[in-house]
Each structure stands twice: as C-alpha cells, then as structure tokens.
Structure 1
C-alpha cells in the first residue's frame, strides 16, 4: 500500500524522537533503529485518516514493540558471554535525544542505562517516558493500557531503583576532558598509587567483549584491584596490538554525556570507556569493546572533528 509523501514526511519528522525513546528503552542503537522502522511499516499499513494524534499513536506502537523486545532480550542476556553493557553513543549523536534538563541528560547516561537493566520492561518504559520525555501519567497510561494511578506507582518505584544505585555527578565537556586526561596520565604512569588517588574506595570496572574480545566476566571491585587492572590495560604489549588490529590512538571524549576514553585503530572505534564521576572520585569504569556494539560509534567518529590523539597505546 503506497503512502502519500506528506504522510511519510510526518513520520520522518517524528523519527528522531522515536529513535531517542527506543534507544533509552533498549540500550542498543541497532535495535532502536529496527523498532522505529517496524513502527514505520505499521504506520504505512494503518488507516492514517483515522489516527487523531500522530505522536500518541506512534509512541504507543513503538513503546509496545520495545516492551516485546525487552522481554525477549532478558532471555538472550542470560546466555550472553560475560557482562552486558549498553551500546555507547558519542557526543553529538542525534539518538541521544533531548538534553535541555538534568533529567533528560541523566536518563541517557551510560551509568543510568546500565542501572535500568534492573528494571522490569514496564518500569523502564514508564521511567523513560516520564523522566526523559516528560509525558503526563495520563498519556503514559494510555500508551501502556494501564491506569494513571498505576503509572504513577510504577514511576516512583522505578525512580527509586535507579536512584538507589546512582552516585553520578554531572560535569561539563571541559571538565570531562580534564578528568579523562588526568586519569590517562595516571593510568600510563606505571604507578598504581597515582591511580588509586583518583578512585573511590568502592570503584568498579566492568567490560563487555560479547565473547568476541577478551573481557573479564566478573567486575573488578575496589580501588586497588581496579587500579591494578587499569595500569595493566594501558601497558604496551605486542599481544594487545595484535588483538586490536594495530596500535590504538587514544582520545579524551564524551559518550552518553559521560567523560570517556575512545580508542581508535585506522578510523575504527575499538573501545569506549565511560567514567562515572562522583564528588569523591571516579566510581566506575564501563568498557565497551564488543565490535558489534561499536559500529555507530565508528560512523559518528568519522563525522566528528576529533583533532589529534592524546597518545598511541600499546
């Protein structure tokens, strides 16, 4: 069934918002794009003349597609090799969505996306729609086919779950770069004690290799253990160069609004390390090295004015 050009334009005007919602719900840019495309196919097949409010209809279809995806994703992640982390988005990626408020920025932070894995699909949907996109509970209730009171209860429960695990401090881009540079100087100094001073006592380091790149299945916990791991990670070796496909160029950047280390080999992003910053120091390192979750980062990197690397690793 063919669709009028103006109807296609109406959908395309909504696509950025839909992709931003789907990414927050799924933690995967590729899956978010697929969910939005399926929403478009359903829009094509619908009797558009009977749809009164386009945004509400599209959001309902997309959200329910994502809820189905989240349910099946939980089963897949039970057999995932090692730790599962979201797909990182580099600064400037339109899929990051709105960033006018602290709540919007925080909802797409790497730390909060990881925390949202603890939520049920319905908790995640209500949290994202309310916290990141300011949907009224009345509209959320209509989208999810629940009562307005239930939406409010689910939101408060989800918000508490996220808040209980959150210690992040928001920093601007200049501060983020300074923190990353200071961290990298300590990590490459060869002295564990200089790294420990930057970390909180309960710091953790988590890596996602997806079974395709070596990454420890269990997180490193505690400042001393994390510092030893990071010192070893940045120690040059032929084996590391071979595994990465060359000597990575290392940049201070931001991903999902967090300070980040980006490692690039021949224009291909091979690793994104997001730092979680608190008033007491760096509390977490989340390292995405699964090649299957770095394609969009590589495409974004190619379009970015990233300047010269801080150094070449390994």
Structure 2
C-alpha cells in the first residue's frame, strides 16, 4: 500500500536537503540540475511506503545517487553538450562565510578544478568515486546503484581515483594566504605588471575561461608564460570592472561586475603560495542564474 508521507516526513526530508544537494552538485556539476535531482528524490520518497525505510539518510543518499546516475546517462543518450566542455557552476559566498547554505554545500571545499576533472569520468566511475571517497558509502551500498558487484564498484572508484590523483594539487589551507596571492594578482593586473604576474603563477598553471557559446565555449591555456601573456585581458577586466572579493567554491575568488551587471566570476587554486589554476566564468546566460547578491555591498 502506498502511504502518503506525513508532515513530519517532509520535515525530515528538509533536514537532509543540504547533504543531498552536496551529493548532487558533485555528481552533476550543475546547481540547477542538482535541485532537479532533489525534487525527483522527494517525489520518490513521497510515493514510497516510508514504514519500510529504516535509515532515511542512507535511503535518500542511495536514491539521489541513482537519480544523478540516470541524469548523467541521459545527457550522453541525448548527445547534449558534455559538461567537460564548460566550467561547472561555481558556488559563491561572502568571505566571512556567513551563508550557511553555501557552507553546507561546500563542507569539504570541492573546488572547480576538481569538478572539471570529475566531468571527464564516465557516470559509473563518477558515482563510485563521489559516494565512496567524498561521502564514505561502502561499496556494498554503491554496487546496486550501478548494477555491479561490490568488487566492480571498488574498481570503478579506483580507476576514477587514479585519474583524479595529481591533477588537482591540494590548495593552501590558509585562506588569508590565498587572499594575499589573489590580491597580488589583481594588483599586477591593474598595473599591467607582467613580471609581477609571472612571479605569482605556478609553472604548470592552467587557465580555463568559459564565455559561453558566443566565445566558443571553454578555452584552456597552460603554462605560466602563456597565462601571463593574457595580461592585457586581465588588465582590461581589472580596470573596467567593479571587483569584489568572494569565496568561490570555498577558496579566495573574485566577482566582477560592469554597470551593475555580472561580468565574470574568477576562481583561483593557490598551491605553495602560487596560483596553480584560474577558472573564469563569463557566460552571460549562466551568470544571470547565479546568486551573486551575497557578495554585494
């Protein structure tokens, strides 16, 4: 018999919403799709006999994992633009960390650089890696979601781990140190100081810029000299725009506006006191859907 969930079940679901959104965001790299996955998970709970659910948190994690897996597979079947061809949605907050929703979403500070790597995994690998390595689910719990044995699920996570390892060096943990480097980048850009900019960049720095369809989508530049060679672009942005400090996926970043309209969001990965990666989202269509109010003065 189908049992309509009572009000207390809806309240319990809301208690799990931050965790579910964190899982879905890591799986999908899209805040809008993460919210769609949460809604589908709620509908499945609403249509279930909740008396048979012993561990609601575990049940919901399993269901949203399966929903996200279906969504990833559907992207491939429909031949949609793969998300590895664009930057994942950034999560933006104030530097004082005053937004509890964003704190919950980024409890382990998953950076854009890591999300870009996750986009290169196949759906089953991504699910096994995210649920096991990021959320601690056992392979016995993951196996039925991907229709594999626990041993195979473990192999999926292992393959994903090998692809992720070394591609995203851990950022410096001191946020004040991150901010000093990002502020120095902004100063060098405003002053057009090539040598100062070059000194801030790791030799293997990667710049990813996503301006959307009008600019050809995601462009990637590698190496300190090549990235510093974009100084003219950085200088135009730094001098024309109003720049505000922000946390972007838990790390020091910048939000740029022009005449009150969002121009770009910049995320920096600072490792060993140098900038290891810069991610710039300037796609007007996607910027329009981001919540930038939290960093406004």
Normalised by the length of structure 1, the TM-score is 0.81
For residue 289 of structure 1, what is the aligned residue in structure 2?
A: 282
> Deviation string for 1:5-58 (max 9, x for gaps)?
111112111111111100010001111001101111111122222333222222
For residue 165 of structure 1, what is the aligned residue in structure 2?
A: 167
Matches within 5 A, 1:68-147: 68-74=70-76, 75-78=79-82, 83-91=85-93, 92=99, 94=101, 97=104, 104-105=108-109, 108-147=110-149
Alignment pair present for 1:21 and 2:47: no
> Deviation string for 1:183-210 (max 9, x for gaps)?
1011111122221111122322111122
Secondary structure of 2:165's match? helix
In 1, distance between residues paired with 2:30 and 2:231? 26
- Residue number among 198, 205, 208 corresponding to 2:207 in the alignment: 205
Secondary structure of 1:169's match? coil
Unaligned runs of 5+ in 2: 94-98
In 1, distance between residues paired with 2:59 and 2:8? 17
For residue 257 of structure 2, what is the aligned residue in structure 1?
A: 264
Distance 1:263 1:117, change over 3 A: same
> Deviation string for 1:145-172 (max 9, x for gaps)?
4322222222222111101312232333
Secondary structure of 2:172's match? coil
Distance 1:266 1:221, change over 3 A: same
Alignment pair present for 1:250 and 2:243: yes
Secondary structure of 2:92's match? coil
In 2, distance between residues paired with 1:223 and 1:157? 30
C-alpha contact (below 8 Å) 2:181/2:275 kept by paired residues: no
In 1, distance between residues paired with 2:75 and 2:25? 14
- Superposed CA RMSD in Å reads 2.7
> Deviation string for 1:100-134 (max 9, x for gaps)?
6xxx33xx211110111111111111111122212
For residue 310 of structure 1, what is the aligned residue in structure 2?
A: none
In 1, distance between residues paired with 2:196 and 2:179? 18
In 1, distance between residues paired with 2:200 and 2:22? 33
In 2, distance between residues paired with 1:173 and 1:99? 15
- Cα shift at 1:137: 2.4
Normalised by the length of structure 2, the TM-score is 0.86
Unaligned runs of 5+ in 1: 242-246, 308-314
Identify the range of structure 1 (12-21 vs 146-155) with the bigger mean alpha-carbon deviation. 146-155
- Cα shift at 1:217: 4.9
Aligned residues: 288
In 2, distance between residues paired with 1:64 and 1:276? 31
In 2, distance between residues paired with 1:265 and 1:236? 9
- Cα shift at 1:95: 5.0
Distance 1:83 1:193, change over 3 A: farther
C-alpha contact (below 8 Å) 2:5/2:50 kept by paired residues: no
Distance 1:173 1:147, change over 3 A: same
For residue 224 of structure 1, what is the aligned residue in structure 2?
A: 225
Secondary structure of 1:17's match? helix
Secondary structure of 1:235's match? helix
